[in-house]
Chains A and B, each alone.
Chain A
Amino acid sequence: MINFQYSRPGDIADAVRQIAADPRAKFIAGGTNILDLMKYDVERPAHLIDISRLPLTGVEETASGGMRIGALVPNSDLSYHPLIEARYPILASAIRAGASQQLRNMASTGGNLLQRTRCLYFYDVATPCNKRAPGSGCSAIDGINRQNAILGTSDACIATHPSDMCVALAVLEAKVHVAGPAGERVIAFEDFHRLPGKTPERDTNLAPNEIITAIELPARGFAKNYTYIKIRDRHSYAFALVSVAAALELEGKTIKEARLALGGVAHKPWRNKEVEATLNGQPATRESFRSAADALLRDAKGFGHNDFKVELARRAVVRALTQAAQGTPQSQSNKKIV
């Protein structure tokens, strides 16, 4: 791992000032991804700005009935927070589906959003990768692509975003509060992560000199009818092949509102509001779910090893919507998918 200058800013303004002053600097909070990438020689920051002690660890209710989660709240604390468990159980569930106890204890809320892809070629500096070395080519398109994307891909990159938590945040339509040299701004969750396009090296729309300060959850938590299903190659401690966060508001057996996000299939948590809207007013039946799943995956395309994800994602969507409608969310410890 490269050696670096280490600093610990006193407050958020200081952190922003430090990162703006040094283009080769990066923030470190939980460190679970940046240090990993530094050990693989993928990241080589000359300066690490340790923000882990900034006062961004609050979990508070907002005036509008939602919640504001400090960017440095550890993932495990968030998933076991009584208000999160009660009002946003889909978020608690998605967090627990990810990584391991140790990593959830270390990883921060803000850092989770900034996780980089697990594409095998991104991690191996001996191979071409447009995300790691722009212009060098994508090795995954005709390479080992079991884990890669089937939606929103480009000729330059077929990487996926690895987070589970973010899939739930997409469904909850969280807002990302950031601070930069120009002050604070709020980014809607759907605008936070990017599709690869011609610039796969950019994962998000966060500017290099900005810091995430908080995640805001709107009031609606879909605590009654939700689920998070994660399908992977072993039953824990593995990244998703496909995951689905589903949230419903029902009136009797009719869907009043549906939200769906997929993980493991695209460069960002994948939502399609048009498809979701087609469920509104429909009966909460397998037929409705299947036609939504078909529509959601209509443009999906595999690259060989990951062809199976298209049908798997369809089926997972149906199952997730079924679980959500029945109010029988998936347990993250008992691995039987109900």
Chain B
Amino acid sequence: MTFRNALTLNINGSEHEVFIEPHWTLLDVLRREIGLTGTKENCIEAECGVCTVLLDGKAVCSCILLAMQAAGRSITTIEGLGTPDALDPLQVAFLKHGAVQCGYCIPGMILTAKSFLAEHPGTPTRHEIREAISGTLCRCTGYQKIIDAIADAGAEGAQAAS
């Protein structure tokens, strides 16, 4: 049998000590061991993007990342993006544009957009935004309002930078 390994994970700026088995994914550990259930589980096979978190600032599917592999790297979940009193501009834009329906894909969608905007500063085209977030599925919203929200937050970010 395998033994549990001690592991330190840096999540939303804090260090968390966990004892885990090697086959546990980061998604499992976030939700079950740390209690950060804002990261949602869905296909658990990297087919939907719902479980997206940022690893060193880049969007990744936490369902298909071994927690062991995340050791020593910076993990950001939706809980670490903004607080209810100080939302991230993307969160504000999603609310403003009505880009949220059932809400299940939204943490992953916002983090996918966050990673994309960080790596593509300026004002991306709607085509580029669509392609960038096509790996995160939404079954409710009709997508257009999500694009509106991301374009809006992107433009705001570009303005703030200039």
A/B: CB atoms within 8 Å of each other? yes
Chain B residues near A35 (CB-CB < 8 A): 25, 46, 64-66
Chain B residues near A333 (CB-CB < 8 A): 125, 127-128, 130-131
Decide: B46 and A36 in contact? CB cutoff 8 A. yes
Chain B residues near A8 (CB-CB < 8 A): 68
Decide: A102 and B60 in contact? CB cutoff 8 A. yes
Decide: A101 and B125 in contact? CB cutoff 8 A. no
Q: Does B88 sit at the interface, judged by CB under 8 A? A: no
CB distance from B76 to the nearest CB of A (A): 13
Residues of B in contact, count (CB < 8 Å):
37
Best-surrounded residue of A8, A101, A236 (most CB of chain B within 10 A): A101
- Interface residues in B95-128 (C-beta closer than 8 Å to A): 112, 115-116, 119, 125, 127-128
CB distance from A32 to the nearest CB of B (A): 6
Q: Which residue of the partner chain B has the closest CB to A331?
A: B127
Decide: B61 and A236 in contact? CB cutoff 8 A. no
Contact of A101 among B21, B22, B66, B133 (CB under 8 A): B133
Decide: B60 and A106 in contact? CB cutoff 8 A. yes
CB distance from A196 to the nearest CB of B (A): 25
Q: Mark B35-74, 1 if CB is under 8 A from A, else 0.
A: 0000000001110010010010011110011101100000
Decide: B61 and A103 in contact? CB cutoff 8 A. yes
If A331-B127, A332-B131 touch, whether A106 touches B23 (CB-CB below 8 Å) is: no
Chain A residues near B69 (CB-CB < 8 A): 28, 31, 50, 52
Contact of B112 among A4, A39, A48, A101 (CB under 8 A): A101
Decide: A39 and B127 in contact? CB cutoff 8 A. no
Chain B residues near A40 (CB-CB < 8 A): 45
Decide: A36 and B134 in contact? CB cutoff 8 A. no
CB distance from A294 to the nearest CB of B (A): 33
- The answer for the CA separation of A2 and B21 in the assembled complex, in Å, is 11
Q: Does A64 sit at the interface, judged by CB under 8 A? A: no
Contact of B115 among A1, A31, A39, A101 (CB under 8 A): A101
Q: Does B2 sit at the interface, judged by CB under 8 A? A: yes
Decide: A106 and B64 in contact? CB cutoff 8 A. yes
Chain B residues near A235 (CB-CB < 8 A): 134
Decide: B66 and A28 in contact? CB cutoff 8 A. yes
Where chain A touches its partner, the secondary structure class is loop
If A3-B2, A6-B68, A100-B134 touch, whether A105 touches B22 (CB-CB below 8 Å) is: no
Q: Which residue of the partner chain A has the closest CB to B119?
A: A80
- The answer for the CA separation of A28 and B64 in the assembled complex, in Å, is 11
Q: Does A76 sit at the interface, judged by CB under 8 A? A: yes
Contact of B132 among A1, A32, A36, A101 (CB under 8 A): A101
Contact of B65 among A4, A106, A334 (CB under 8 A): A106
Chain A residues near B1 (CB-CB < 8 A): 3
Q: Does B136 sit at the interface, judged by CB under 8 A? A: yes
Q: Does A12 sit at the interface, judged by CB under 8 A? A: no
If A52-B69, A236-B131 touch, whether A4 touches B22 (CB-CB below 8 Å) is: yes
Chain A residues near B131 (CB-CB < 8 A): 96, 236, 332-333
- The answer for the CA separation of A6 and B21 in the assembled complex, in Å, is 9
Chain B residues near A334 (CB-CB < 8 A): 125, 127
CB distance from A201 to the nearest CB of B (A): 22
Chain B residues near A102 (CB-CB < 8 A): 46, 49, 52, 59-61, 112, 135-136
On A, residues with C-beta under 8 Å from B are: 1-6, 8, 28, 31-32, 35-36, 39-40, 48, 50, 52, 76, 80, 96, 99-103, 105-106, 235-237, 331-335
Q: 23 A-B Cβ contacts within 8 A? A: A3-B21, A3-B22, A5-B2, A6-B66, A8-B68, A31-B65, A32-B64, A36-B46, A50-B66, A50-B69, A101-B112, A101-B133, A101-B135, A102-B59, A102-B112, A102-B136, A103-B135, A105-B115, A237-B135, A237-B137, A331-B127, A333-B127, A334-B127
Beyond A4-B22, A35-B66, A334-B127, 4 additional contacts (C-beta under 8 Å) are A2-B23, A28-B66, A50-B68, A106-B61
On B, residues with C-beta under 8 Å from A are: 1-2, 5, 21-23, 25, 44-46, 49, 52, 55, 58-61, 64-66, 68-69, 112, 115-116, 119, 125, 127-128, 130-137
